[in-house]
Structure 1
Amino acid sequence: MSELVAASEQAIAKGSTSFAAAARLLPRAVRDDTVMLYAWCRHADDVVDGQVSGATPADGHDATAAVAQLRADTLAALHGDGPMAPPFAALRTVARRHDFPDAWPLALIDGFTMDAEGRRYATLTDTLDYAYHVAGVVGVMMARVMGVRDEDVLDRACDLGLAFQLTNIARDVQDDAAIGRVYLPQDWLDAAGARVDAPGTPALNGVIARLVSEAEPYYASARGGLAELPVQAAWSIAAALRVYRAIGRKILRAGPGFDGRRVSTSGAEKVALVAAAAADAATSRWQRPSARLRGLWTRVRA
C-alpha cells in the first residue's frame, strides 16, 4: 500500500464509517483510487467548514476565503506537478488516471460555495441542484473510477448521489439549522407552516418525510444501473445504497414522532444490509438494465 493510499484510508476511517465499510468490498486497485478520491472530497468539505473530521470550526473561520483557496489548490493539483498536501496529491493521481474533466471536481467546490454563501433553496429543483454539486457529481466520479464510461450509466451514479444527499438533508435538519443552513425547499416549508428551528413538530416532520420519499425514485434508478458495474463494484454500491436507504426508512417509521436527532444504522444492521447487497449484485448479473425513470432531475453532462 502506498503512503498516499494509507493517508487517505486514515482520513476515511475518521470521517465516514458507512463509506469505509462499503469500500472494503471493492477490488484492491479500485478501492485504493476510490478511497483517495473520497479522502479529497472529505478534506474539501472539512476545509470549507473549518473542521477536521468533524471537529469544531475554529473561531473566525472565513468560508469564502477557504473556498477560494480550495479552488486554487484543486486546479494546481489537476494541472501542476509540484508537491501537494496528501488529499490534493490523491486527487491528482485519481483524476489523471481516470481522465476526469475539470468540471467534476470544480462542481463539488461550487456546491461548497453555496454553503459558504448561505444559499437558501426555494424549490425542490433548487435542492436537487445543490445535491448534485455536493453528492451527485461525487457519484459520477466514483463510477468513473469503477470503470464506467457510458454517460447513461454515469447518470445512474449521479442518481445515487442525489438520493444519498436527500437522505442526509432529511436526517440532519436539526444539525444544519444549528449552523444556519436550510436545505429543505422553502415552498414546502411555507405550505406546511413548518420551521426548521422547531424539531419534532408534525409540520416539520411532514416535510422531512416528503423529502425522504422524494429520494426513492433516485435509489430505484441507481439500483437499475448495478448490472453495468463489475460484480464487486456492484456489491459495494448496493451495500452503500441499502445502508443509506435504511436511514431514510427509519425516519419514515418514526413518523410524526421523529424528534430530529441524528439517525444511523448499527454495526449489526450494516452487516445484514451488506449481506443483502451481495444478493442484489448477484441478481443484477442476469437482469436486463431497466430504463432510467422519466421526470428525474438530470445533470448537465461535462
Structure 2
Amino acid sequence: MQDRATLVTNARRSILKGSKSFAIASHLFDNVTRERVWLLYAWCRRCDDIIDAQDHGGTLGDQSGAAERLAQVREKTALAFAGKPTDDPAFDALGLVVRETGLTLNMARDVIDGFALDAAEWQPHSEADLMRYCWHVAGAVGVMMAVVMGVSPEDEDTLDRACDLGLAFQLANIARDIEEDDAADRSYIPMDWLAEEDIPPGEQMKPHYRSALTRIIGRMCKTAEIHECSARIGASRLKPRQRWAILSAAGIYGEIAREVARRGDHAWDHRTVVSNGRKLGFVAKAAWAALRPVPRSCIALASARKYSRLSLMTLSQRDGVPKCT
C-alpha cells in the first residue's frame, strides 16, 4: 500500500483531471480537510470510471460485464474499510480517509447503489425515482463529504443539507448533459415528465420536441435551485474556510443549472461551461456570503423542498436495487 503523501498526490491529480470546478473550490479548505476531500473524491471518481468503463468521465466504454465491474467496486470498497490493501490507489485512498474520519461502510454502500442503478441501465419513471437516483450518486457523496469535514454522523439536519447540495449538483449535471446521455442511450428524465409533455421515450432530443424538453429541464433546474438553497443553510454551520469552499462550489454548479435554464431551446447547442474567470467570481462572492446570514429569500425557497434525505433513503429501501445483467 502506498504511503499517505503518494495517495494524496494521486488523489489531487484525479480531481484536477475529473472536476476542475470542485478542484478550485477544494483549495479553499484548510490543508487537512482539503487532502481528505481529495482522497474521498478519488474513490468516487474511480468507482464511476470502473462502472462506466471510462477514464475520468468522457465517452462511455464497452458496457458489457457491468455486473462483474460492480462486484469489483463492492469488493475493493469492503477491503478499504477493513484496512486491507486493494492494489488500487483510489480505493487505498478511501481506506486512509476512513481511518482518519467517521465514515461508515453503509455510507459507501449508499453511493455504490447508485452505480448499481447505472450498471442495470435503470431509468426513472417518476420524479421520486429521479431524486432517488440523485441521492445515491451525489446526495450520499455529499453526506460522506460532510463527515470528512467534521460534521458529526449524529447531526442529521446538517447531513440532510449536505445531501441537498449533492442533489443540486446532480440535477445540474443531468440538465446540462441531456444530449450526451441520449447519445449513450441513457436518460434520467422521468418517464412521467415525458408523458406530460407528449414526448415518446427516447425521442426527447428530436427538434420538434425542443420546446417541451426546455420546459422539463426548467422544472429540473428549479428543483436544483431549491436544494442549493437548502444546502446553503447547512453550510452556514460549517467552519469559515469550509463554508467558503462549499458556497463557492454551490455557486459554480448552481450557475450551470441557471445557464441551462437561461439558454432555453438553445441549451444543448454546445456544452454549458462556467469559465475560469466566472468561477473565480463565484469564489469571491462566496467569500462575502460566508460572512453573512443566509438570505431570507433562500430560506423561503428551501422550504419548497419535497424530498429529504430520510424520505429518499426510505424510497430506496422500499424499492431496492435492480440486478444488472
Q: Specify if TM > 0.5.
A: yes
> What is the aligned partner in structure 1 of residue 206 from structure 2?
198
> What is the aligned partner in structure 2 of residue 68 from structure 1?
71
Query: Contact 1:107–1:133 (CA<8 Å) still a contact in 2?
Result: yes
> What is the aligned partner in structure 2 of residue 157 from structure 1?
162
> What is the aligned partner in structure 2 of residue 51 from structure 1?
54
> What is the aligned partner in structure 2 of residue 186 from structure 1?
191
Quick one: which of 166, 169, 173 aligns to 2:171?
Answer: 166
SS at match of 2:29: coil
Q: Displacement of 1:44 after TM fit?
A: 0.5
Q: Displacement of 1:15 after TM fit?
A: 0.7
Q: TM-score, normalised by structure 2?
A: 0.87
Q: Displacement of 1:238 after TM fit?
A: 0.2
> What is the aligned partner in structure 2 of residue 266 from structure 1?
275
Query: Contact 1:226–1:284 (CA<8 Å) still a contact in 2?
Result: no
Query: Contact 2:240–2:290 (CA<8 Å) still a contact in 1?
Result: yes
Q: In the superposition, relative to structure 1, how do residues 90 and 265 fare at CA in structure 2: closer, same or farther (>3 Å)? A: same
Query: Deviations for 1:158-198, whole angstroms, at most 9, x for unmatched residues?
Result: 00000111111111111111111111111111111233232
Quick one: which of 121, 125, 128 aligns to 1:125?
Answer: 128
Q: Displacement of 1:257 after TM fit?
A: 3.3
Q: Which amino acid aligns with 2:307?
A: W
> What is the aligned partner in structure 2 of residue 222 from structure 1?
231
Q: Displacement of 1:33 after TM fit?
A: 0.3
Q: In the superposition, relative to structure 1, how do residues 170 and 285 fare at CA in structure 2: closer, same or farther (>3 Å)? A: closer
Query: Deviations for 1:64-111, whole angstroms, at most 9, x for unmatched residues?
Result: 211111111111111142353110111011122212121111111110
Question: Are 2:155 and 1:147 aligned?
Answer: no
C-alpha distance in 2, partners of 1:33/1:280? 24
C-alpha distance in 2, partners of 1:178/1:286? 40
Q: In the superposition, relative to structure 1, how do residues 60 and 128 fare at CA in structure 2: closer, same or farther (>3 Å)? A: closer
Query: Deviations for 1:9-45, whole angstroms, at most 9, x for unmatched residues?
Result: 0111111100100000000000000000001100110
Percent of residue pairs identical: 40
> What is the aligned partner in structure 1 of residue 99 from structure 2?
96
C-alpha distance in 2, partners of 1:290/1:252? 22
Q: In the superposition, relative to structure 1, how do residues 197 and 64 fare at CA in structure 2: closer, same or farther (>3 Å)? A: farther
> What is the aligned partner in structure 2 of residue 14 from structure 1?
17
Equivalent residue runs for 1:23-34 within 5 Å: 23-34=26-37
Q: Tell me how many residue pairs correspond in the alignment.
A: 301
Question: Are 2:303 and 1:293 aligned?
Answer: yes
Q: Which amino acid aligns with 2:249?
A: A
SS at match of 1:225: helix
C-alpha distance in 1, partners of 2:179/2:58? 18
Q: Which amino acid aligns with 2:144?
A: M
Q: Displacement of 1:56 after TM fit?
A: 4.2
C-alpha distance in 1, partners of 2:67/2:269? 29
Q: In the superposition, relative to structure 1, how do residues 190 and 153 fare at CA in structure 2: closer, same or farther (>3 Å)? A: same
Quick one: which of 195, 207, 217 aligns to 2:216?
Answer: 207
Gaps of 5+ in 2: 315-325
C-alpha distance in 1, partners of 2:247/2:88? 32
Q: Kindly report the root-mean-square deviation, in angstroms, between the aligned alpha carbons of the 2 structures.
A: 2.2
Q: TM-score, normalised by structure 1?
A: 0.93
SS at match of 1:137: helix
Gaps of 5+ in 1: none
Q: Which amino acid aligns with 1:103?
A: N
